[in-house]
Chain A
Amino acid sequence: MGVPFNRNPDGTIAQRAFGGHTRNFGEAPVKRACYAADRTGRVILDTLYGQSVQKGIRVYPELSVMDLVVRDGAVHGVVAYEWATGELHLFHAKAVLVATGGFGKVFKTTSNCFANTGDGAHMVLRHGFPLQDMEFIQFHPTGIHGLGVLISEAARGEGGLLRNRDGERFMERYAPTIKDLAARDVVSRAIMSEIRDGRGIDGRDFVHLDLTHLGKERLEERLSDISSFVRIYLGIDPAAQPIPVHPTCHYMMGGIPTDVDGRVLDAAGYAVPGLYAAGECACVSVHGANRLGCNSLLDLVVFGRRTGRRLLADVAQLPLHEAGGEALDACRERIQRLRERRSGERAAGIRQRMQQEMMERCGVYRTAKGLEEGLDTIRGLQETCRTQLVLDYRGDRYNTDLMEALELESLLGLAEVMLLAAQKRTESRGAHYREDFPERDDANWLCHSLVYRDGAQLRYATKPVSITRFQPKPRVY
C-alpha cells in the first residue's frame, strides 16, 4: 500500500529490537519489529487515509456515535451526534463495526489522546453485552514525567538504558538476561519499586532514560520524533542529558470480546448479529494479559482485515431494518436532561477525581483494600454524574462541553468494570499485579474475565482460555 517503512541495504523492510521480543521463549532479544522511524503508527494511518481517498470511502469526520440501535439482541444501526450542528442522525445498518480504540483517559497519566474515552466499549456494555479481561491494563514504562507523553520503546530498542538516582542500570537486577528490553509490565514494576525504595532521581517519583551514548546522528535518524518531544516539552537535548520518565497508562488488553473474525460475542459466547469489533477496543485476546510492543498495530492490520472480510461476506445475508426511532429519542432525551440542569458540577472536576483515584487504586500495583475503596469512589462519582452533572454551554455548535460530559459517562462506566475485574482476580498475571496475591495461580485463574450489565448491576463471570500450541509458563528473564 505504500507505508514508508525503513529499509535494509537489500531493499527489504528493516526490523529492530523491541521490549519482550525474544527467541526461544526469552533466551535472547531479536530484531522483529518493522518500523518507520519512530512514527510507524502515524504513517500507517496516513497510508490508510490515502487508500480511503483513492477508494472514495465516505467519512464523517466530526460525528460521534452516541449509541447502538439494538433490537432483539441484534444490531441495526447507530445514532450519531454532529459536532458542527448539534444534530442527531440515525444510521440504519446491516452491520456495525466498532473501532473506537482504547480508553486510557480513565487514568491521570496516560499516553493516550483526549479522544480515547472508550465510547464504543461502553455502548456495548450498556446494551448488556460483556467486556472481557478489563483488569489487564498496560502501563508503559517510559512516559515523560509529569505529562505522560510517550517515549516509544524504540528508544530502548535502539539501546537506551534506564538508570536510578545512583546512575545504576537497575534493570540488570530485575531481568538479568534481557535487562532494559524486558516486557513492559516488568519494567514498569521495576521503575515503581525503585521509586518506592527511594532510588528515584533525587528521591523523587521518576527515573532516567539515558540515550546520551547513542549519539546525535542515530537519535536524529531513528528517534527523531522522540528527540523533538524531549526538546519541546523538557527543553533538553537527549544526546546530552537523560530523560525523566515515569510509567504511563498506555494500552487496554481487554475490551469487547470477539472471535477471530471480529464477530462480537455475548455473555454465553454466541455471536451478536450485526455487531463487529476490531482494534484496541476489541479483545480477540491475542495479547493475553500483557501486550508486547508493536503488536497492537499488528493486531489492527491482521484482525481489522479479517473482520472487514467477514463483515463483507455477512452483509449479503443480514437484513436491513428501518427501526431505531426509540434509540434516537433516547439520545435526544439524554442530551436534553443535561441541558436542562441549571446547577451542579461540571464534567472536568468529576473526571479529575476519577483519574486520580484510578491512578492510585488500579495502577501498576493493586490491593484488595485499594480496589474496594476505588469502587466506592467511582460509584459515588457515577451518582454525582447522574444527579449533578451540569453544562456550562448549551449551544449547538462545536459544543465540546457537552461532548466531554457524554464521554465522562463512558469513562466512569469502564472504570467501574476495570476495578471490579481487578478486585475479583486474586492473583498476579501479566499487567495485573496484586500485592496481596503476588503469584500467578493457574489452578484457579487460568481464565478470562467477563463483566456485563444486568439491570443496574454488574455481573462477573469467567470463561476458559483456549490454549493451542503454546503452553503458558512463568516468564524468567
Chain B
Amino acid sequence: MELTFRIYRYDPERDSEAYYRTYRVEAEPGERILDCLNRIKWEQDGSLSFRMSCGHGVCGSDAMRLNGRCALACQKLVQDYQGEPEILVEPLPSFRVLKDLVVDLEPFFEKVNWVRPYLLAGDSDPQKERLQDPAERKKLDQVIRCILCACCMGACPVVGENEHFLGPAPLVWAFRYIFDSRDQEKEDRLRKVDSEDGAWGCRNHFECTRVCPKEIPVTKSINFIKREIEKVFGS
C-alpha cells in the first residue's frame, strides 16, 4: 500500500525555522515505520536524519512522535496506520532539536544519572552473589524493562511545563534501586526524590504509562515511591 509521510525537518544551522516535507512510500502492512523512514532516506532524501539501531525495541534510540503520539518507529507497523490519510512524524516534544528527528538527550541522561542508577550495597567486592529472595526480585520485573528511550518524557505534560521536573523515566530508575532489596541506600534515595521536582511533581496524567513501548506501569511505580516516602518518613 502507498503511505504519505509528513516529516518535520529542521537544521538549526541552515534553516531559519522548521518546516514539513511530504514523502510517499510503498510498503507492506507488516513492515515497520522505521523501514519506511529508512526507505525515504535511502531512496528519496539522504538529508533526513534520525537515530536508530536495533530495529526491534531494545536499544531505545528511535523514539519520535508519530501522529501526535510518542513511540518507537521500529515498534509501529504500517498496518497500525491503516486508513489514516498521512503519518505525521515529529521529534520528541520538550527536547531541543539538533536536526530533524534527532534531539538533544543530554539533559535526560543527566537526570537519569542524578538518581544514581547503580547498586550501593555497602560491601564493595563480595566473593559470591548477594542473595535475593525471588519475591524481592519480582518487584523489579517490570522496571528493568526500561530501555531509556524517553518516549515517556516527551509525553509527560509536567516535563513540558517544568524543565526541572525529574520526569517519569528517571523515577523508574529511582524505583529500580529503591526497591532492590540488595541496596543499602534506600532512605537516602527516597529523600532525594521527595520533592516537588521529584516524585511529587507527577500529577497522575498517565501519559507516560500510555506511551511506554515496554509496557512499564510508570505512573503506578511513581505512586509506589510516593507511598514508600510516606511510609518511611511519615506524611
Contacts and interface: CB of A to CB of B under 8 A. Distances in A.
B25 interface: no
B226 to A, nearest CB: 23
Contact of A37 (B11, B43, B133, B141): B141
Interface stretch (B16-24, B98-106, B194-202): B98-106
Interface string B48-92: 011011111111000000000000000101010000000000000
B118 A11 contact: no
Interface string B117-144: 1110100000001011110010011001
- Chain A at the B interface: SS class: loop
Contacts of A47: 118-119
B42 A346 contact: yes
Given A7-B132, A9-B134, A11-B133, A399 B49 contact: yes
A50 B116 CA distance: 7
Contacts of A39: 58, 144-145
A12 B131 contact: yes
Contacts of A233: 30, 32, 56, 77
Nearest to A400: B49
A7 B137 contact: yes
Nearest to A116: B53
Contacts of A451: none
Nearest to A347: B42
Which of A4, A14, A47, A391 has the most chain B CB atoms closer than 10 A to its own CB?
A4
B129 A13 contact: yes
Nearest to B13: A397
Contacts of B180: 2, 4
Nearest to A55: B118
Contact of A232 (B50, B57, B102): B57
Contacts, number: 123
A2 B137 CA distance: 11
Given A2-B119, A232-B75, A114 B46 contact: no
A199 B99 CA distance: 49
Given A2-B121, A398-B100, A392 B141 contact: no
A150 B141 CA distance: 21
Contact of B182 (A2, A14, A224, A349): A2
B27 interface: no
A2 B121 CA distance: 9
Which of B32, B46, B47, B57 has the most chain A CB atoms closer than 10 A to its own CB?
B46
A58 B49 CA distance: 26
Nearest to A399: B49
Interface residues of A, number: 56
B132 A11 contact: yes
A72 B145 CA distance: 48
B45 interface: yes
B118 A113 contact: no
B134 A8 contact: yes
A378 B214 CA distance: 40
A146 B28 CA distance: 12
B42 A348 contact: yes
A235 B49 CA distance: 29
Contact of B41 (A2, A53, A401): A401
A395 B118 contact: no
A348 B53 contact: no
B215 interface: yes
Given A11-B132, A393-B45, A398-B49, 7 more contacts: A6-B137, A46-B117, A54-B118, A114-B54, A146-B30, A397-B49, A401-B41
21 contacts: A2-B183, A11-B133, A37-B141, A37-B144, A46-B144, A50-B117, A113-B53, A113-B55, A114-B52, A114-B55, A147-B56, A228-B215, A232-B57, A346-B42, A348-B43, A392-B45, A393-B46, A395-B47, A396-B13, A401-B41, A401-B47
Interface of B: 11, 13-14, 30, 32, 41-43, 45-47, 49-50, 52-59, 75, 77, 79, 98-100, 102, 113, 116-119, 121, 129, 131-134, 137, 140-141, 144-145, 147, 180, 182-183, 214-215
